């Protein structure tokens, strides 16, 4: 903020076609001094080219170890409205569907106790209420839970699981991703609210290999829907598609396994060679559908760079049927947590632990058998471990 | 408060069935196919013959309660009180067939951008930046706004050879997990942390601080109850600062933005892949970050001109080769482009078969 309280740099970001977050802060600032000082301190950051937020202190609600991120500014005398600027994570409903009534109730609570600013949604998936003070937290918690909402995860815990739209609006989905997400969220309430892990653990559920939740890149446990039988073909619809597209070039030639052929009247698929990448189905959703024997591939280890480099999840179970009450996946996750808990160092993600200890330790302790689907290729180096049982 | 409400805990998120539009509840798991009608409209058709229309608009992600109420008002008027958010911060409405055009007209009249579906640029997944974060190397919302003011037509009308997913993370923590995006805009620091000797003894646990460094750049300094930084080993990840507030590394001149390209998460055609470094550093130049905007726009335009239909940015680059990517874009190749961290050797070319440019 300049001395006269003007924000010329941010004002410039009110212009332009893309929706403006500055307009949103200004709307909230009409009602909230917190939002007003957020605008002012943000202008200051734009001028100074550094952040003005300090490390968070530990704040929260009684009985929970997470769900609220403590945040304080480094210039509280100049910007008293944001001396405290804590974030409350509200666990989003699976699939991010809402009714207007439910959202208005939440917004009313937030106007009463907070800055009136929110992220729909945060990166992990929570509905993020941005900017409140320590003494308001219990009241926010009481009023949101009374309306049926709960906090999401933060810290070294199970972070709020998230999923794609799945069966609710997608014909590609091979699993009930929303029901799986909701069920796991409820089975693991304790792990979500009371951080007791070496580090964070994320679960994301995508109904097919298009992976609309970016589970493979972003989740320690990536649950990806797939099928085991043949792609269903409607040959009449394939013919219809051929009027608008060159099926050979756009579909068959782009198939990574070259398992398809098109002679102008019939599309043939060698399903044994198909790896279910989704390209052909994406191109011709009216003509091609996933098979009927559906389930999920379970993958482990995805994460962003901190600490030892970014990882993408890899296959640990090629195929798992996932049906209510989803006890099989719950059981596997609990076994993985037990192994991680026993061996993991502080701030070591489960993927990094596999890197450090090897797949064998994880597989043995979870009872998963080694299968070729787990690797791109077997090892080429001869530095092979043998256990005494192996050489009996 | 006299009648304090009873304390409720561990109830989890409300079940989604409370929020589904009736046509979705009825056809849950029965969808047969979908059609993209235009860049902002889809139609899903069920085995039962029922149809579902979806209209999508962009949001700025950071929104006011009044913005959410405005969305609720559209939902009440056109969508039976139902709406949803996508994983990329767009809002979707579900109007009946005869309400699709009236809804789109109303949204456009109020200045909203209808689009984001199919081959183009959808909303930008991003982080908090200077709005709320203690470790950022740049702002998030401002950069996204500046970039998308320039590229918004790829959201509303213009098409590209395939989807181009842009994401921004304001530091290496990558809350936005941008590392598998077609274009990743990543805030970076370039100066090692400065030890605050006055506070470190009280604020930080020395052994965990030392252990937090992935390159072993932090050594104990027991005489001062502090640490020493081997500056030549530091690659500015900021993990030590997360563990120890007395090791700040933010710096107005040192901080800025790097651009990574060619990542994706979809498995279609080829496996998911990580984004790779295209531009090591661009300065923080608020409020409009012109260097970043021009760089992103330029990469999108070169890709749009040269890529084949259905080819994601990474697939295009793999076909033409990185050597030609740098030639076509005119981006200089530097020491910074050659990996020297954990997985470096995998990236070296172990064959004399390459293109001259």
Contact B282, B297 (CB under 8 A): no
ipTM of the complex: 0.96
A212 and A352 fall within a common domain: yes
A246 and A268 fall within a common domain: yes
Residue B349 has pLDDT above 90, yes or no: yes
Residue B1 has pLDDT above 60, yes or no: no
The span from the first CA to the last CA of chain A, in angstroms, equals 75
Task: Answer whether A319 touches B (CB < 8 Å).
Answer: no
Arithmetic mean of pLDDT, A171-195: 98
A194 and A140 fall within a common domain: no
CATH number at residue A193: 3.30.413.10
A317/A374 Cα distance (integer angstroms): 8
Q: pLDDT (tens digit, 9 = 90+) per residue, B292-320? A: 999 999 999 999 999 999 999 999 999 99
Arithmetic mean of pLDDT, A11-26: 98
Does the residue A381 lie in any domain? no
**Owning domain of residue A236:** 232-289
Contact A260, A249 (CB under 8 A): no
The shortest CB-CB distance from B272 to any of A118, A124, A217 is to A217
User: Residue A263: left (phi > 0), alpha (psi -120 to 50), or beta?
Assistant: alpha
Nearest to B50 by CA among B12, B21, B76: B21
A31 and A131 fall within a common domain: yes
Tell which of A146, A179, A202 closes a domain.
A146
DSSP A33-97: HHHHHHHHHHHHHHHHTS--BPPPP----TT-S-SEE--BBS-TTT-GGGSB-EEEEEPPPGGGE
Residue pairs between chains A and B whose CB atoms are closer than 8 Å: 358
Paired with B243 in beta bridges are none
Pairing of strands B90-93, B51-58: antiparallel
Does the residue A86 lie in any domain? yes
Does the residue A305 lie in any domain? yes
Q: pLDDT (tens digit, 9 = 90+) per residue, A260-269? A: 999 999 999 9
- The pLDDT-based confidence of B5 (bands split at 50, 70, 90) is low
Name the domain count of chain A: 3
A220 and A243 fall within a common domain: no
Q: pLDDT (tens digit, 9 = 90+) per residue, A326-343? A: 999 999 999 999 999 999
A63/B158 Cα distance (integer angstroms): 51
**Chain A residue numbers touching B172 (CB-CB < 8 A):** 304-306
- pLDDT at residue A5 in the model: 79
**Dihedrals phi, psi of B279, to nearest 5 degrees:** -125, 115
Q: A278 to chain B nearest CA, in Å? A: 5
A190 and A203 fall within a common domain: yes
Sign of the Cα torsion A277, A353, B336, B357 reads: negative
A32 and A140 fall within a common domain: yes
Does the residue A384 lie in any domain? no
Sign of the Cα torsion A10, A12, A18, A23 reads: positive
- pLDDT at residue A56 in the model: 76
A96 and A243 fall within a common domain: no
Does the residue A211 lie in any domain? yes
The shortest CB-CB distance from A210 to any of B24, B250, B268 is to B268
Helix (H) or strand (E) holding A117: strand A117-120
**Dihedrals phi, psi of B240, to nearest 5 degrees:** -65, -40
B344/A38 Cα distance (integer angstroms): 42
When scoring B13, B297, B316 by the number of chain A Cβ atoms within 10 A, the one with the most, hence best to mutate, is B13
Residue B106 has pLDDT above 90, yes or no: yes
- pLDDT at residue A4 in the model: 61
Where are the extended beta strands (E) located within chain B? 31-38, 41-46, 51-58, 62-64, 82-85, 90-93, 125-126, 166-169, 183-188, 218-221, 226-229, 256-261, 276-283
**Residue partners of B155: CB distance under 8 A and separation at least 6:** B39, B58, B113, B115, B116, B120, B121, B122, B123, B148
Residue B105 has pLDDT above 80, yes or no: yes
**Chain B residue numbers touching A175 (CB-CB < 8 A):** none
Arithmetic mean of pLDDT, A209-226: 97
Does the residue A375 lie in any domain? no
Average pLDDT of the residues of chain A: 96
B289/B73 Cα distance (integer angstroms): 35
Q: A364 to chain B nearest CA, in Å? A: 26
Tell which of A146, A181, A197 closes a domain.
A146
B134/B237 Cα distance (integer angstroms): 14
Q: pLDDT (tens digit, 9 = 90+) per residue, A110-137? A: 999 999 999 999 999 999 999 999 999 9
Contact A354, A300 (CB under 8 A): yes
A20 and A110 fall within a common domain: yes
**Residue partners of B174: CB distance under 8 A and separation at least 6:** A304, A305, A306, A310, B127, B186
Tell which of A243, A263, A289 closes a domain.
A289
**Chain A residue numbers touching B239 (CB-CB < 8 A):** 306-307
Arithmetic mean of pLDDT, B37-47: 98
Where are the extended beta strands (E) located within A201-304? 203-206, 221-227, 232-233, 260-262, 267-269, 288-289, 294-300
What's the length of chain A?
392
Contact A224, A206 (CB under 8 A): yes
A272 and A338 fall within a common domain: no
Structure tokens at A370: 């080694």
Q: pLDDT (tens digit, 9 = 90+) per residue, B123-173? A: 999 999 999 999 999 999 999 999 999 999 999 999 999 999 999 999 999
Arithmetic mean of pLDDT, B258-284: 97
CATH number at residue A273: 3.30.70.20
Q: pLDDT (tens digit, 9 = 90+) per residue, B82-94? A: 999 999 999 999 9
Compute the half-sphere exposure of residue B313: CA atoms within 13 Å on the CB side of its CA. 32
Residue A3 has pLDDT above 60, yes or no: no
Q: pLDDT (tens digit, 9 = 90+) per residue, A282-304? A: 999 999 999 999 999 999 999 99
Residue B3 has pLDDT above 70, yes or no: no
- pLDDT at residue A1 in the model: 45
**Dihedrals phi, psi of B129, to nearest 5 degrees:** 60, -140
Residue A245 has pLDDT above 80, yes or no: yes
The shortest CB-CB distance from B250 to any of A51, A55, A71 is to A51
Does the residue A337 lie in any domain? yes
**Chain A residue numbers touching B4 (CB-CB < 8 A):** 142
Arithmetic mean of pLDDT, A92-106: 98
The shortest CB-CB distance from A146 to any of B8, B130, B265 is to B8
A297 and A283 fall within a common domain: no
CA-nearest residue of chain B to A207? B29
CA-nearest residue of chain A to B76? A100
Q: What percent of chain A has pLDDT over 90?
A: 96
A202 and A91 fall within a common domain: no
- pLDDT at residue B2 in the model: 56
Sign of the Cα torsion A96, A102, A108, A109 reads: negative
CATH number at residue A63: 3.30.70.2500
Does the residue A382 lie in any domain? no
């Amino acid at each position: 903020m300049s001395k006269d309280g003007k924000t010329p740099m941010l004002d410039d970001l009110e212009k332009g076609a893309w929706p403006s977050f500055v307009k949103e802060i200004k709307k909230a600032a009409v009602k909230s001094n917190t939002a007003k000082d957020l605008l002012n301190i943000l202008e200051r950051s734009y001028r100074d080219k550094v952040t003005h937020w300090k490390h968070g202190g530990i704040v929260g609600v009684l009985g929970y170890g997470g769900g609220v991120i403590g945040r304080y500014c480094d210039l509280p005398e100049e910007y008293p409205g944001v001396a405290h600027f804590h974030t409350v994570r509200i666990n989003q409903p699976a699939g991010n569907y809402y009714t207007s009534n439910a959202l208005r109730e939440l917004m009313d609570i937030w106007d009463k106790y907070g800055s009136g600013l929110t992220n729909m949604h945060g990166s992990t998936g929570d509905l993020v209420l941005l900017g409140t003070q320590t003494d308001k937290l219990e009241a926010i918690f009481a009023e949101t839970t009374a309306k049926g909402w709960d906090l999401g995860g933060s810290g070294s815990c199970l972070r709020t699981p998230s999923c794609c739209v799945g069966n609710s609006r997608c014909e590609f989905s091979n699993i009930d991703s929303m029901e799986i997400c909701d069920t796991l969220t409820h089975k693991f309430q304790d792990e979500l609210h009371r951080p007791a892990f070496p580090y964070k653990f994320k679960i994301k559920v995508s109904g097919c290999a298009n992976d609309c939740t970016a589970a493979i890149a972003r989740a320690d446990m990536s649950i990806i829907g797939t099928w085991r039988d043949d792609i269903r073909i409607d040959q009449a619809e394939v013919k219809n598609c051929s009027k608008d597209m060159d099926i050979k070039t756009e579909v068959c030639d782009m198939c990574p396994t070259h398992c398809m052929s098109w002679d102008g009247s019939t599309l043939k698929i060698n399903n044994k060679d198909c790896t279910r990448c989704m390209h052909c189905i994406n191109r011709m959703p009216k003509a091609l559908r996933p098979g009927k024997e559906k389930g999920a591939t379970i993958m482990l280890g995805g994460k962003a760079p901190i600490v030892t480099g970014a990882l993408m999840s890899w296959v640990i179970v090629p195929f798992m049927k996932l049906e209510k009450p989803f006890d099989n996946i719950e059981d596997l996750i609990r076994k993985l947590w037990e192994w991680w808990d026993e061996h993991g160092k502080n701030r070591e993600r489960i993927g990094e632990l596999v890197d450090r200890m090897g797949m064998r330790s994880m597989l043995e302790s979870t009872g998963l058998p080694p299968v070729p689907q787990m690797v791109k290729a077997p090892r080429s180096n001869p530095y092979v471990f043998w256990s005494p049982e192996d050489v009996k | 408060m006299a009648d304090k409400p009873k304390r409720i805990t561990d109830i989890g998120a409300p079940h989604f069935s409370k929020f589904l539009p009736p046509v979705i509840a009825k056809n849950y798991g029965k969808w047969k196919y979908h059609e993209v009608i235009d860049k902002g409209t889809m139609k899903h058709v069920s085995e039962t013959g029922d149809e579902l229309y979806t209209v999508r608009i962009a949001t700025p992600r950071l929104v006011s309660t009044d913005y959410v109420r405005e969305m609720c008002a559209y939902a009440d008027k056109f969508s039976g009180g139902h709406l949803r958010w996508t994983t990329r911060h767009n809002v979707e409405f579900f109007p009946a067939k005869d309400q699709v055009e009236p809804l789109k007209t109303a949204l456009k009249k109020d200045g909203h951008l209808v689009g984001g579906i199919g081959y183009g640029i959808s909303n930008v997944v991003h982080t908090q930046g200077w709005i709320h974060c203690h470790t950022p190397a740049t702002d998030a919302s401002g950069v996204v706004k500046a970039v998308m003011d320039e590229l918004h037509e790829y959201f509303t009308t213009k098409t590209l050879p395939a989807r181009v997913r842009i994401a921004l993370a304001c530091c290496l923590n990558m809350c936005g997990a941008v590392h598998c995006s077609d274009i990743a805009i990543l805030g970076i620091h370039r100066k090692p942390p400065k030890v605050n000797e006055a506070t470190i003894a009280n604020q930080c646990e020395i052994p965990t601080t030392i252990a937090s460094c992935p390159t072993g750049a932090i050594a104990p300094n027991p005489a001062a109850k502090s640490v020493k930084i081997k500056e030549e080993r530091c690659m500015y990840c900021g993990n030590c600062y997360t563990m120890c507030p007395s090791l700040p590394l933010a710096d107005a001149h040192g901080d800025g933005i790097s651009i990574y390209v060619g990542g994706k998460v979809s498995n279609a055609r080829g496996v998911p892949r990580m984004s790779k470094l295209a531009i090591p550093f661009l300065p923080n130049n608020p409020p409009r970050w012109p260097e970043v905007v021009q760089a992103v726009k330029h990469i999108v335009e070169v890709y749009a001109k040269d890529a084949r239909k259905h080819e994601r940015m990474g697939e295009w680059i793999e076909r033409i080769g990185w050597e030609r990517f740098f030639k076509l874009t005119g981006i200089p190749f530097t020491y910074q482009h050659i990996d020297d961290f954990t997985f470096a050797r995998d990236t070296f070319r172990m064959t004399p078969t390459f293109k001259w440019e």
